[in-house]
Structure 1
Amino acid sequence: MPESVLAKPDNPLSLDNQLCFPLYAASRLVTRMYHDKLAPLGITYPQYVVLMILWEHAPCSVGVVGEKAMLNSNTLTPLLKRMEQQGLLIRQRDNRDERQVNVTLTKAGLQLQTECSCIPAELMARFSDGAEEELVQLKHLLTRVLPKMQRALEAGQA
């Protein structure tokens, strides 16, 4: 990390110098806020992410869901299995390519869209506290940075 952004240049391991910690803390806080809205609906935040993808793209392959959710198959498969057991979606092998599994929403999965439609605005109002513009800027910045981080991670695994 460039020295100019270090809060304490003499201590590179200071928590104040880490990019990872504010991202981690913000992620945990946002997820906790979503939990309060999602728990009464019987879904978790990762399930909500999958549902948002499917509301927009279903039917689609498991690979598309994994790519958009940025989840590996070892995380995604059990998540989709639980959602299928809950009656929210159906997984089926593609008739043309047995290697591919497609995901379709059930009636229950589609009905949750209506129940969840107010959540983004409610949470934005709850945690923005006058910082709406900063949150919009943060979202745009993260949207630009995430693909770069993903490519760096993939390059390191090659």
Structure 2
Amino acid sequence: MAPPTDQASSSSRSVSDNVIISLRKIIQAIDMNSKKLNKRVGLTGPQLVLLQEIARSGEVTAGEIARAVSLSQATVTGILERLEKRGLLVRQRSERDRRRIMVSITEAGQKILETGPPLMQEAFVEKFSSLQEWEQTMILSALQRLVTIMDAKAIDAAPFLSTGPVDSQTDKSGEEPPTSF
């Protein structure tokens, strides 16, 4: 006997079970993409987002980066420290205002952006944008309702697809801890 297809097996499950299964698939897809990104270029999604923002903006402050990517300045500062240790960016005092620390991308950081894979959310945004407006609104409404049902309204989230903590700490060897659920 052939194994049940997704459609056949989903008809015997409750709607809530199918919603939970769909949520798990989304989480797993994001997690797999994050691991692939980390393995391929040695960066997390948030690190790559920050590098992209710095490259786009040129010389910029940590506060400006934080506002642009919707993260706290403390989180951005931690990520910047790790990227600086890897030689992907430099931080230096502004020539015009010595109180300001300016961040700029290095040649090594630019090379990663040129050779690295696109972020998962870039493909998502492209596909999502091709949907009709009513369908986009319906999906947004359903997801916002799920956020409410799951008591997740107070969770602060940046607009990029990544699993685990955004500001993951490195262990004593300097390696990022694995993402787990």
Length-normalised TM-score, structure 2: 0.51
2:81 aligned with 1:75: no
CA separation of 1:90 and 1:28: change in aligned 2, threshold 3 A: farther
Residue matched to 1:148: none
Contact 1:35 1:45 in 2 (8 A): no
Aligned partners of 1:93 and 1:100 also within 8 Å: yes
Contact 2:84 2:90 in 1 (8 A): yes
Q: Which runs of 5+ in 2 are unaligned?
A: 1-14, 142-152, 155-181
CA contact (8 A) 2:37 2:44 kept: no
Larger helix fraction of residues: 1
Residues 93 and 102 in structure 1, CA contact (< 8 A), matched pair in contact too: yes
Match of 1:5 in 2: none
Q: Is the 8 A contact 1:62 1:100 kept in 2?
A: no
TM-superposed deviation, 1:78: 1.1
Further displaced range: 105-114 or 35-44? 35-44
Using the TM superposition, give the Cα deviation of residue 136 of structure 1 relative to its aligned residue in structure 2, in angstroms. 4.5
Alignment match, 2:111: 111
Question: Following the alignment from structure 1 to structure 2, what is the Cα–Cα distance between the partners of residues 49 and 25?
Answer: 23
The residue that corresponds to 2:89 in the other structure is 89
Contact 1:61 1:100 in 2 (8 A): yes
Tell me the residue number matched to 2:63.
63
| CA-atom RMSD in angstroms | 3.9
Counterparts of 2:25 and 2:71 in 1: how far apart (Å)? Answer: 20
| Counterpart for residue 33 of structure 2 | 33
Using the alignment, how far apart are the partners of 1:28 and 1:92 within structure 2? Answer: 39
Deviation at 1:37, TM superposition (A): 2.7
Distance 1:31 1:48, change over 3 A: farther
Alpha-carbon distance change, 31 to 54 in structure 1, aligned in 2, over 3 angstroms:
farther
What residue in structure 2 maps to residue 47 of structure 1? Answer: 47
Give the distance between the partners of 2:92 and 2:17, measured in 1 at CA. 46
Bigger mean CA offset, 84-93 vs 58-67: 58-67
The structure-2 alpha-carbon separation of the partners of 1:55 and 1:108, relative to structure 1 and needing over 3 Å to count, comes to same
Higher relative contact order (CA 8 A, sep 6+): 2
Q: Which letter does structure 1 place at the counterpart of 2:52?
A: M
Query: Which residue identity is paired with 1:70?
Result: S
Equivalent residue number for residue 4 of structure 2? none
Shift of the 58–26 alpha-carbon distance from structure 1 to 2, 3 Å rule, reads farther
Deviation at 1:133, TM superposition (A): 4.3
> Alignment partner of 2:66: what SS?
helix
- The count of residues paired between Structure 1 and Structure 2 equals 122
Structure 1: gaps of 5 or more residues:
1-7, 9-13, 146-151, 154-158
